[in-house]
Amino acid sequence: MSRSLNFYEFFAGGGMARLGLGPGWNCAFANDFDRLKAATYRANFPDAAEHFHEGDVWKLEAGALPPRVDLAWASSPCQDFSLAGARAGLGGGRSSAFFGFWRLIEALGADGPRAVVIENVSGLLTSHGGADFAALCRALAGQGYSFGALEIDAGRFVPQSRPRVFVIATREPPHPSLIGESPFQTRAVRDAYDRLPADLAARWIWWGPDAPAVRNTDLASLLEPDADVAWHEAARTQRLLDLMAPLHRARIEAAKSSGARSVGAVFNRMRVADGKKVQRSEVRFDGLAGCLRTPRGGSSRQTLVVIEGDRVRSRLLSPREGARLMGLPDSYVLPTAATGALHVAGDGVVVPVVRWLAATILEPLLAPAGAAVAAE
């Protein structure tokens, strides 16, 4: 016996959580207010007309949502929790969109989803000294959910360092096999739990999923052929090198000395040196890209440096490479403009992380006894 599990995808972006959940799941309702993301969602999911609603979550009514689904997934805007931002918390700016979503779940009451996943940046755990995380937990508890959190770096799944928090909540007691130790119960997660008041701590679940398989790709393996991309002029590459502090210049020299082809990821950042803010280029050669950002926020667009002997070249990460770093297949339709494509990809959730959570927690939690989720 098999059946599809039904879900809502709020703040859906380009539908990356839907891709991660897989074909064994049926999207009953999806929403996003960003016009470009909405267009991308429609381009990739032919059934979007049946369930996708473009617009502000605060303008939605609970009556528009099919009742009694298995899961609500919400990757609410993260800027106010980000360590790079002003840390306004749940009460500020775009992150208050969470409450626009949550009022709908409250209105559904007993007809609400059996489980909820909230995905956000790691700053959610510490925003306002943990008060925002406690407020989130209290909202969940108020609707009868028990909950726990995992902090997962996507670098375990794809060659991109991208730590995110996943709060997984359920109205039904999980099977004991889903509870235990996990490397994703990080110090930050444990500290967030320790800060909770006793009544919320009593509802905590220590999710203990099986460990993911070892990642078998690195940054270099996802890149386009050298002949198919535009490289910077030598002077621009030299300016990049000139902005590096001694530690990072030493990494460049070590890569040159190795004689092997080396691929590094570079971000430009503001650092303090001798009491002054200075721009620095920082490079890593550990096989991982830095965390993808949207082109108009956080850090600048990511640069690649490729070293072969004494030859050093640099270029910008391409939109398709950015999509691959998010676990998107090459068949995924991206916006035509590079900025738009990187905006959609960089603002999304890593697809293989969602698939792993679905396989190890969500499907065992939600599939009825004796039934299996429809095969992929």
User: Per DSSP, what are the bridge partners of residue 269?
Assistant: 280
Residue 318 has pLDDT above 70, yes or no: yes
Sign of the Cα torsion 38, 296, 292, 127 reads: negative
The pLDDT-based confidence of 372 (bands split at 50, 70, 90) is low
Question: pLDDT, tens digit, for every residue of 46-66?
Answer: 999 999 999 999 999 999 999
- Write 248-253 long-range contacts (CB < 8 A, 24+): 248/280, 248/281, 248/282, 248/283, 251/283, 251/284, 251/285, 252/283, 252/305, 252/307, 252/312
The C-alpha atoms of residue 211 and residue 278 are separated, in whole angstroms, by 41
Share of the chain above pLDDT 70, in %: 90
pLDDT at position 278 = 87
Collapsing DSSP to helix, strand or coil, 237 comes out as helix
pLDDT at position 268 = 85
Q: How many CB atoms lie within 10 A of CB 173?
A: 11
The C-alpha atoms of residue 282 and residue 164 are separated, in whole angstroms, by 22
Domains, the chain: 2-213+345-373 (3.40.50.150), 225-317 (no CATH)
Residue 204 has pLDDT above 80, yes or no: yes
What is the spatial order of strands in the sheet that 52-54 belongs to? Answer: 52-54, 25-32, 5-10, 71-74, 115-121, 163-170, 146-153
Specify the residue for token string 């989720």. 373
The pLDDT-based confidence of 78 (bands split at 50, 70, 90) is low
Q: Which residues are CB-neighbours of 285 under 8 A, at least 6 positions away?
A: 251, 255, 262, 263, 264
DSSP state letters, 61-95:
-GGGSPSS-SEEEE----TTT-TTS----TTSGGG
| Rama region for 151: left / alpha / beta (φ>0; ψ in -120 to 50; rest) | beta
Helix (H) or strand (E) holding 120: strand 115-121
* Burial class of 27 by CB neighbour count within 10 A (0 to 12, 13 to 18, 19+): buried
Instruction: Decide: 148 and 205 in contact? Cβ < 8 Å.
Output: yes
The pLDDT-based confidence of 248 (bands split at 50, 70, 90) is very high
pLDDT at position 272 = 84
Of the candidates 137, 113, 115, 114, the one whose C-alpha atom is nearest the C-alpha of residue 124 is 137
